[in-house]
Structure 1
Amino acid sequence: MDIESIEYPRYLLCKEIFMALDFRSLLAEHIPDGGRGARPRRGKYDFAVAYPDPASLPHDKIMECLSEALSETGDDLAVYPHPQGNTPLREYVADKIKRERDINATADDIILGNGSGQPIDMISAILVNPGDVVITDEWVYGGTLNTLRRHSADIRGVSADEEGMDPDALNFEISKAIQEGKRPKYVYLIATFQNPQGFTITRRRREQLLEVTHRHGVPILEDDCYADNRYGGDQVTSMYNLDDQNSVMYVGSFSKIIAPGMSLGYMTGPDEVLDRAMTVKSGRISEFTAMAVEKYARRYLDAHVEEINNIQRVKRDAMLASLGENFGTGAEWSDPDGGLYIWMKLNDDADMVSLSSKALEEIDVGFHPGTNYSPDGASGRNYIRLCYGYNQPEEIEEGIGKLGAFLAKEGALKS
């Protein structure tokens, strides 16, 4: 039969009544709503996101190291790299975390990822079933919260004081979940320079938290991505090192000490976790990035970290001083020894969600409301997170001055 002679029903040929497929009916129910949208406008005084000082980015040295790596091992780009990531860089990471965080690991124990976010996602993928309990701080990094929501976790926040998460509150929350038949899959902790609260968990408190999790048979996921950003205080050993029951999973990152745009992190942990994580690992990190970072890290990283910490220390001090001058007793805020954030509590009735948009429009100041860091996505409307990484000290002082006057006018400060 000649296919061209077949007469198709007219409705199959009529474009006017053609109906496009509605994908909304097909979307997975466990994925939160979102969208592409326009890129959010950044304020002149950008205290919202954790960008480093642009002047501190080591462009020339990274290009030097990439050029050298390409001349030495560029032919390796003709084949896919090791599934766990660039081997020389994994060897460097193993040396680094042994030297600085007291973690015994070899290159075989390291998996590279896109920032620390991909390892956290991989760990969640292999441990968390829909409805499983994961415990975090009462206020915690929004990126991890979004990851846990994608995995349909039951996220439960635990309060903290200046020493870190409250072990009694953690014990209560774990016991409650177990009574419900939902033993938590893990406790997520940013133990050093917590985001957004800024505290570092003391060694004594780390040991207390481990005692609680050991008693209940619950692992810890230690996110150590800010450990290098220290401006004062004493270094505290990693929870991974303090653990004697093979119950801690560890992730770290180069993003905050080299460049966020390079998005390079790593993980280690128990063999069972590493083996299973490789089954859900999606894609490989850029071999260009890995080769450049490995060369750069061995040659320049220690000096670069010292340099950027000196820069960030000045910025932190500028923000703290300006907060004291412009806010007085009208707010409470953290005083971190490192990291990039200051956590602030305003008047109990303040709605910083709506005021964040208004401040950006009226005074060109950006900040994040506390709801971004709440497990329930609604609490913390009277809190904000301020980042001092991007602007110069004089801009920080000017921006905090504008913010103080604006919040006073809006009635957001404590009386």
Structure 2
Amino acid sequence: MATSSPFNYNSLYSQLSVPVVRGENRHAKYDFAVAYPDPETLPLEGLADSLKVALEREGKDLALYPVAAGLPALREWVAEKLARDRNMNVGVDDIVLTSGSGEAISMLIAALTDPGDVLLTEEYVYLGTLRAMRRFGADVRSVKCDDEGLIPEDLESTLATVAAEGKKVKFLYTIPAFQNPLGWTMSLERRVKTLEITGKYGVPVLEDDCYVDLRFEGEDVTSMHSMDDSGRVLYVGSFSKIVAPGVRLGYMVAPQEVIQRAMSFKGGGGVNQFAALAVQEFAKDSMYSHIQEQNDSLRVKRDAMLAALGENFGDAAQWSKPEGGLYVWLEMPEDIDLAAFQEQSFNEGVGYYNGTMFSPEGRGANCARLCFGHPTAETVSEGVAEMARIFERHGVLKG
């Protein structure tokens, strides 16, 4: 049999496809790059017991394909949680379970975005969302922030600029609680102003609230969704941060007409019923006590990181002091290029993500996101000290 030449797909790829190199996730000895939760607080025993109960009750239903919107009982629990915690009055039919919040975000971007459409984000934004926006060909523009969140004057001027160009902003994406990567929580006043300004320009808001349960101190701020009665605020949440990323469960809340469009971009039908059953049964009696246990652990790690930064970086840098979440935002002097040094630091034992990875305009080379969720408090302290030694060794941090 003659040997054929490899088939050439180059002329067949869609314009939106980009090559992705598959490989194992790399981890430095001190890994502050990826936002993994604390492995010691994963509710493994509780999930196993809950799954057993759920399977005995309705395991035979696994012979059926799940409904596209996801397990109704889990959606009911989400609706109850949103009413209790976020002052949101939504029904089961307003909620769709997804494979993590990332799928929910991608579905909404796909449903609302054509190539060239303008989307707004905070000046530094979750890189997964930024990649999804770019994948759909969006013109992504950022709005400046301070410690209270989006700066209203910059939001309005950005919207006015886009309008003057004869373009329309499809939506504003924001993470108002423990923002990724900056760490702040948007104040109530800023939430009110953001809704007023976007309403003036007829712009929807996509509220990503996936970190809101990870509060260690301070007072909760009500959701933007609860402050709107027009259906202009879309909402996304996740079980990744309160159960485990590996369960791959998140959800969206949106008006029916938006859900119907977004569902056309959902792959594989409903979410994994096996995982949904375990989480739903666990959530009924154990979720809130688990969240408290997890937050107690995260608070210790946050404190360890802040203390270590103070001891090792002193006045040579600035950093955020979040009241919750998983991230500290480190800012070095403007002449320091942490983007160029990221791979070197990784090779010498400390991983981080530099600021350009989160910026629509590629700014922030002197900044880094540091995640404190996965390592122990002791490892956090050791890792920050090691990062300072590496920086000093290469002249990044002046001794």
Indicate which of 297, 307, 324 corresponds to 1:338.
324
Q: Which residue of 2 aligns with 1:89?
A: 74
Is the 8 Å Cα contact of residues 248 and 270 (structure 1) preserved in structure 2?
no
Q: Distance in 1 between matches of 2:134 and 2:250?
A: 21
Q: Distance in 2 between matches of 1:349 and 1:60?
A: 49
User: What pairs up with 1:351-366 in 2 under 5 angstroms?
Assistant: 351-362=337-348, 364-366=349-351
* Structure 1 letter corresponding to 2:317: A
Q: Distance in 1 between matches of 2:25 and 2:51?
A: 32
Q: Distance in 2 between matches of 1:198 and 1:230?
A: 11
Q: Which residue of 2 aligns with 1:396?
A: 380
Q: Distance in 2 between matches of 1:163 and 1:383?
A: 19
Q: Which residue of 2 aligns with 1:320?
A: 306
Deviation at 1:70, TM superposition (A): 0.4
Q: Which residue of 1 aligns with 2:119?
A: 134
Q: Distance in 2 between matches of 1:316 and 1:230?
A: 11
Aligned residues: 398
Q: Distance in 2 between matches of 1:225 and 1:182?
A: 30
Q: Which residue of 1 aligns with 2:40?
A: 55
Is the 8 Å Cα contact of residues 32 and 149 (structure 1) preserved in structure 2?
no
Q: Which residue of 1 aligns with 2:371?
A: 387
* 2:173 match: secondary structure: strand
* 2:100 match: secondary structure: coil
Q: Which residue of 2 aligns with 1:99?
A: 84
Is the 8 Å Cα contact of residues 198 and 204 (structure 2) preserved in structure 1?
yes
Is the 8 Å Cα contact of residues 68 and 271 (structure 2) preserved in structure 1?
no
Which runs of 5 or more residues in structure 2 are unaligned?
Answer: none
Is the 8 Å Cα contact of residues 121 and 142 (structure 2) preserved in structure 1?
yes
Is the 8 Å Cα contact of residues 350 and 411 (structure 1) preserved in structure 2?
no
Q: Which residue of 2 aligns with 1:75?
A: 60
* Structure 2 letter corresponding to 1:182: K
TM-score by length of 1: 0.93
User: What pairs up with 1:4-403 in 2 under 5 angstroms?
Assistant: 14-15=2-3, 18-36=4-22, 38-283=23-268, 284-362=270-348, 364-376=349-361, 378-403=362-387
Q: Distance in 2 between matches of 1:286 and 1:114?
A: 8
Determine which structure has more spread, i.e. the larger CA radius of gyration: 1
1:125-176 Cα distance to aligned partner (Å, 9 max, x none): 1100000000001100000001111111000011101110111111111111
Q: Distance in 1 between matches of 2:118 and 2:110?
A: 13
Runs of 4+ in 1 over 3 A off after TM superposition: none
Is the 8 Å Cα contact of residues 75 and 96 (structure 2) preserved in structure 1?
yes
* Structure 2 letter corresponding to 1:123: L
Q: Distance in 2 between matches of 1:169 and 1:411?
A: 36
Q: Distance in 2 between matches of 1:368 and 1:39?
A: 17
Name which of structure 1's ranges 136-145 and 73-82 shifts more when overlaid on structure 2. 73-82
Is the 8 Å Cα contact of residues 347 and 413 (structure 1) preserved in structure 2?
no
Q: Distance in 1 between matches of 2:18 and 2:98?
A: 23
Deviation at 1:25, TM superposition (A): 2.9
Q: Distance in 2 between matches of 1:258 and 1:70?
A: 19
Deviation at 1:358, TM superposition (A): 1.0
Deviation at 1:19, TM superposition (A): 2.4
Is the 8 Å Cα contact of residues 353 and 368 (structure 2) preserved in structure 1?
yes
* 2:186 match: secondary structure: coil
Q: Distance in 2 between matches of 1:43 and 1:390?
A: 12
Deviation at 1:414, TM superposition (A): 6.9
* Structure 2 letter corresponding to 1:79: L
Is the 8 Å Cα contact of residues 349 and 412 (structure 1) preserved in structure 2?
no
Q: Distance in 2 between matches of 1:174 and 1:91?
A: 37
Q: Which residue of 2 aligns with 1:8?
A: none
1:16-73 Cα distance to aligned partner (Å, 9 max, x none): xx3222223322223344321x324201211111111111111111010001100000
Q: Share of identical aligned residues, percent?
A: 45
1:200-236 Cα distance to aligned partner (Å, 9 max, x none): 0000000001000000000000000000000011100
Is the 8 Å Cα contact of residues 202 and 236 (structure 1) preserved in structure 2?
yes
* 2:252 match: secondary structure: strand
Q: Distance in 1 between matches of 2:28 and 2:389?
A: 17
* 1:226 match: secondary structure: coil
Is the 8 Å Cα contact of residues 66 and 271 (structure 2) preserved in structure 1?
no
Is the 8 Å Cα contact of residues 96 and 252 (structure 2) preserved in structure 1?
yes
What do you get for the CA RMSD once the two structures are aligned? 1.3
* 2:11 match: secondary structure: helix
Name which of structure 1's ranges 265-274 and 231-240 shifts more when overlaid on structure 2. 265-274
* 1:131 match: secondary structure: coil
Name which of structure 1's ranges 22-31 and 90-99 shifts more when overlaid on structure 2. 22-31
Q: Distance in 2 between matches of 1:352 and 1:187?
A: 28
* 1:221 match: secondary structure: strand
Which runs of 5 or more residues in structure 1 are unaligned?
Answer: 1-12
Q: Which residue of 2 aligns with 1:407?
A: 391
Q: Distance in 2 between matches of 1:275 and 1:307?
A: 38
Q: Distance in 1 between matches of 2:125 and 2:18?
A: 18
